[in-house]
């Protein structure tokens, strides 16, 4: 009797075990999608809220100024800081032509390109029939985390930079995804080559696509004529890149790096630090007591880079020797992205060491180094599918990484908003054609020429009403209130306070003063545009409020920006003996109430 019941008990236990495994798999899939959605949605929302709102620190100002007297083609075919941004420049020039240099249009264009890159990476993941649904959902989490992690916000929150880098990445991803099919059709071959050219001439790092395609073509055993075609295309891209002239500029930068290409160990150490930079920022976000600068001096960060490169070598080198990228499209995508990101980081290291400081922990490089870690984790997920006892640790690995990456993601929300507020203050200074004396004194000597160049470019863009000058606020200064607003007055229950907190000078050398304060209309809304007038009713300056309302501050930033809710403006031709007042000027309508400026 007992002998006949034992198999039933064993079968029941085995059934319960399989049932638990199915439930665990389903739970992993659900949580992977939910966490991926959290990173995606929070990334998009906070990128928008903290987006760069003017092009003061970018290269498009120089392009816009040059395009005033040249064709689009002539303007796009110029190097900017060593980078050829031919294709993104057309986006900027179209923005110039149809939207007067609207920065928000550039932001959405860059965000769209970022979505395209993530979608291209997810297509082969979900078309792979050799991996489980769990592996696909985990890979989706990793791709979304890698693309929308806010640690990359120094690039992705800036429309200009995001257009450059995301277009280069999207072109590269399209090329590596289609290269296995190059032997089937000349149409596919043409698409791959064109995508590689788009990548190369969108940003300098995009040149990494050519050695990537050559290596992948060799591993895929493509016909010799196809590899020769890729080689000729790569040579043509390099020659054209070298021959293109640079954008006219009145300043130059000197190399000050203590590491040179003649010091191989130093170069290798800096390269390993560059590879490990996402780990550094992740650790720093957890250890608030220890600053990022202190952590960056630790040699252990370089050792983490060595370990990551070693693992990458273990994965890539055997495939290269066997000339086989595997049958899994998830694995081949991970390998292709890994090879491309490695070549891109090598280009960054060599290029920066030749011309400037490398600064391996500069936040802008996280855009590229995060791709390396994304590809590494994708390969780990694919390898885990073939492990009997080690599968669950690899299943849990993406969740652990998401948890570790969250504090840096969260802290970048506030960092982006702080940067936006600083950009807006600079834009207000440009609109008024003024700058405080302390700001001028803080500019390092090697950057004074750049500052003067920006001032010169600002005068050109002001004349053409582009970027921050598109609304024409600068045209109000020096005119009487009646000439600008006519009889448009309305009671708005405007109340607040403001004072002069810094002195400076105008672009014509006349004295200027910075006015800072707070204002509310109808006890709850913030006036976004204000004018500063003297006792004769002449507009002497324009003020703008920070782009954060009490609702946004309370809902999205936990009220941490309460102290920064307010306005900043400048008084041109400042005379301390005169009395100045501030009025709201939203919708070209003046408030009846005034806020006196305290001297």
304-348 per-position pLDDT tens digit = 999 999 999 998 898 888 888 878 899 999 999 999 999 999 999
**Distance, CA of 92 to CA of 82 (rounded, Å):** 18
**C-beta neighbour count of 87 within 10 angstroms:** 21
Residues 174 and 106 in one domain: yes
Residues 526 and 401 in one domain: no
Which domain range does residue 177 map to?
24-245+260-422
Residues 108 and 241 in one domain: yes
Q: What is the pLDDT of residue 2?
A: 44
Residues 405 and 511 in one domain: no
Residues 65 and 133 in one domain: yes
Domain harbouring 530, CATH code: 2.60.40
Question: What is the mean pLDDT of the segment spanning 530-548?
Answer: 93
Determine which helix (DSSP H) or strand (DSSP E) holds 343, and give its type and residue range.
Answer: helix 329-355
Whether residue 461 lies inside any domain: the answer is no
Residue 592 near residue 491, CB atoms below 8 Å? yes
The Cα-based distances of 467 to 104, 256, 472, 528 in angstroms read 10, 33, 10, 17
Whether the per-residue pLDDT at 368 is higher than 50: the answer is yes
Residues 501 and 398 in one domain: no
Determine which helix (DSSP H) or strand (DSSP E) holds 241, and give its type and residue range.
Answer: helix 224-243
Whether residue 5 lies inside any domain: the answer is no
Residues 292 and 204 in one domain: yes
> 164: closest CA among 244, 82, 238?
82
Whether residue 271 lies inside any domain: the answer is yes
Lowest pLDDT segment from 18-27, 99-108, 323-332, 534-543: 18-27
Residues 415 and 482 in one domain: no
Confidence of residue 1 (pLDDT cuts 50, 70, 90): very low
> Is pTM beyond 0.95 here?
no
* Average pLDDT in the chain: 86
Q: What is the pLDDT of residue 250?
A: 43
Q: How do 595-598 and 495-506 pair as beta strands?
A: parallel
Whether residue 103 lies inside any domain: the answer is yes
Residues 201 and 296 in one domain: yes
Whether residue 584 lies inside any domain: the answer is yes
Residue 102 near residue 52, CB atoms below 8 Å? no
Q: Which of 422, 447, 462 is the last residue of a domain?
A: 422
Number of independent structural domains in the chain: 2
Whether residue 501 lies inside any domain: the answer is yes
pLDDT for 28-84, tens place per residue? 999 999 999 999 999 999 999 999 887 765 666 667 667 667 777 777 778 877 788
Whether residue 369 lies inside any domain: the answer is yes
Residues 475 and 406 in one domain: no
Residues 43 and 136 in one domain: yes
Rounded to the nearest 5°, which phi and psi values hold at 496?
Answer: 160, -165
| List of residues 6+ apart from 414 with CB closer than 8 A | 557, 560, 561
Whether residue 430 lies inside any domain: the answer is no
Determine which helix (DSSP H) or strand (DSSP E) holds 319, and give its type and residue range.
Answer: helix 299-322
Residue with the larger pLDDT of the pair 426 and 293? 426
Residues 414 and 488 in one domain: no
**C-beta neighbour count of 227 within 10 angstroms:** 17
Beta strands, E only, 3-73: none
């Amino acid at each position: 009797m007992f002998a006949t019941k034992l198999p039933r008990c064993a079968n029941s236990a085995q059934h319960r075990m399989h049932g638990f495994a199915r439930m665990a798999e389903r739970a992993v899939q659900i949580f992977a999608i939910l966490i991926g959605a959290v990173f995606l949605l929070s990334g998009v929302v906070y990128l928008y809220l903290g987006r760069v709102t003017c092009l003061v620190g970018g290269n498009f100002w120089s392009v816009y100024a040059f395009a005033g007297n040249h064709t689009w083609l002539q303007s796009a075919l110029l190097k900017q800081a060593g980078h050829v941004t031919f294709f993104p420049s057309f986006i900027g020039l179209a923005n110039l032509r149809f939207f007067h240099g609207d920065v928000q249009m550039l932001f959405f264009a860059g965000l769209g390109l970022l979505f395209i890159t993530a979608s291209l990476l997810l297509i082969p993941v979900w078309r792979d029939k050799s991996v489980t649904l769990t592996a696909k959902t985990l890979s989706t989490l990793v791709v979304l985390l890698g693309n929308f992690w806010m640690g990359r916000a120094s690039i992705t929150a800036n429309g200009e930079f995001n257009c450059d880098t995301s277009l280069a990445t999207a072109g590269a991803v399209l090329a590596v995804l289609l290269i296995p099919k190059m032997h089937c059709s000349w149409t596919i071959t043409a698409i791959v080559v064109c995508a590689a050219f788009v990548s190369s001439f969108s940003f300098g790092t995009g040149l990494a696509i050519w050695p990537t395609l050559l290596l992948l073509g060799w591993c895929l055993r493509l016909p010799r004529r196809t590899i020769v075609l890729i080689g000729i295309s790569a040579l043509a891209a390099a020659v054209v890149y070298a021959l293109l002239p640079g954008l006219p500029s009145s300043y130059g930068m000197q190399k000050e790096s203590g590491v040179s290409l003649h010091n191989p160990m130093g170069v290798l150490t800096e390269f390993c630090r560059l590879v490990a930079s996402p780990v550094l920022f992740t650790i720093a976000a957890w250890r608030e007591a220890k600053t990022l600068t202190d952590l960056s001096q630790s040699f252990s960060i370089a050792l983490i880079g060595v370990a990551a490169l070693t693992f990458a070598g273990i994965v890539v080198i055997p495939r290269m020797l066997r000339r086989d990228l595997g049958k899994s499209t998830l694995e081949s995508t991970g390998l292709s992205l890994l090879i491309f990101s490695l070549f891109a980081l090598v280009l960054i290291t060599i290029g920066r060491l030749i011309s400037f400081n490398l600064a391996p922990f500069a936040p802008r490089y996280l855009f590229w180094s995060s791709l390396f870690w994304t590809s590494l984790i994708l390969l780990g997920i694919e390898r885990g599918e073939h492990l009997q006892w080690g599968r669950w640790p690899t299943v849990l690995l993406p969740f652990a990484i998401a948890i570790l990456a969250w504090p840096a993601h969260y802290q970048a929300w506030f960092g982006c908003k702080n940067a936006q507020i600083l950009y807006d203050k600079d834009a207000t200074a440009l609109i008024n054609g003024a700058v405080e004396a302390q700001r001028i004194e803080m500019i390092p000597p090697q950057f004074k020429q750049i500052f003067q160049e920006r001032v010169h470019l600002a005068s050109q863009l002001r004349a053409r009403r582009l970027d921050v000058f598109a609304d024409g606020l600068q045209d109000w200064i020096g005119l009487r209130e009646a000439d600008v607003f006519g009889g448009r007055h309305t009671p708005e229950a405007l109340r607040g306070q403001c004072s002069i907190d810094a002195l400076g000078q105008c672009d014509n050398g006349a004295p200027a003063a910075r006015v800072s304060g707070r204002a509310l209309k109808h006890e709850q809304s913030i006036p976004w545009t204000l004018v500063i007038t003297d006792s004769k009713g002449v507009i002497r300056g324009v003020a703008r409020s920070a782009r954060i309302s009490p609702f946004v501050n309370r809902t999205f930033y936990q009220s941490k920006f309460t102290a920064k809710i307010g306005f900043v403006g400048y008084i041109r031709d400042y005379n301390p003996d005169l009395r100045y007042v501030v009025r709201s000027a939203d919708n070209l309508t003046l408030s009846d109430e005034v806020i006196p400026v305290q001297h």
